[in-house]
Structure 1
Amino acid sequence: MSNHSEAPVAPVEAYEPPYYVAVFSTVRTPNQNDYSETNARMEDLVKDVPGFLGMDHAQTPGGLGITVSYFRDADALTEWRTNVEHRAAQERGRADWYQSYTLHVAKAERSHGFLRAEARQSPTAG
């Protein structure tokens, strides 16, 4: 959602299932007034939801954006979905920022990860 170029690039860790996954895929309009600020606020706000596990983002050169959010249980996902500020941002998105979007919600039943051995070592300052 926001540009975290200073942060290391890594996917959200694999969590012990079951948990919920919300996949939000978007194509944005040319009108992006206040999008970055609202997006940053939503990223901060969702972190306060008990049961929020993390978020992954990707953007294609062609303009398809994908945000995958992870929640421990359905109650956490419902709390986020019904948050007043989030609801207002959703309305603004439909009115101004999104040409189209899809939202898929699924219950994860299996999860695992991989990290190359040399990736575990801290890079040396140069």
Structure 2
Amino acid sequence: MFAAIFKAKIGNQDERYRQTVARMRELAFERYGCLDFISVTEGDQEIAISYWENEDSIRRWHQDAEHTEAQQHGRNGWYSAYEVEIVELKRRYRYPADN
């Protein structure tokens, strides 16, 4: 399993931003097999973590035409800075444990 970690400093986020975020989440799940997607904003910082079965799925989602357009809007004002990390999950556990 892999995770894409998106960390950003928020810029000017408007209604179009909120609509685009919803669409990107929809695309990730429906077209590219995203397993889970969590996003949190605190102050001017945002972090989103998405989980994927393989790295190729992340790559294809990243290269999607709608996602490419959203990235451009992000660079043009929705974010003042961001970084993305792609990591391979080596171990996972939880409480309470699954049966």
TM-score, length basis structure 1: 0.71
Q: Does 1:92 align with 2:73?
A: yes
Shift of 1:112: 1.0
SS of the aligned residue for 1:85 comes to helix
Distance, in Å, in 2 between the alignment partners of 1:55 and 1:69 is: 4
> What residue in structure 2 maps to residue 103 of structure 1?
84
Task: State the partner residue of 2:41.
Answer: 59
Count of residue pairs brought into register by the alignment: 97
TM-score (norm 2): 0.88
Unpaired stretches in structure 2, ≥5 consecutive residues: none
**Aligned sequence identity (%):** 27
1:43, CA displacement in angstroms?
Answer: 1.1
Q: Relative to total residues, which structure has the larger strand share, 1 or 2? A: 2
More helix per residue: 2
Give the structure with higher Rg (CA): 1
Listed one character per residue, the Cα deviations across residues 78-102 of structure 1 (whole Å, up to 9, x for unaligned) are 1111111001100111012001111
Match of 1:27 among 6, 9, 34: 9
Alignment of 1:48 with 2:30, yes or no, is: yes
Which amino acid letter does the alignment assign opposite residue 24 of structure 1? F
* RMSD of aligned residue pairs (Cα, Å): 1.6
Q: Displacement, 1:38? A: 0.8
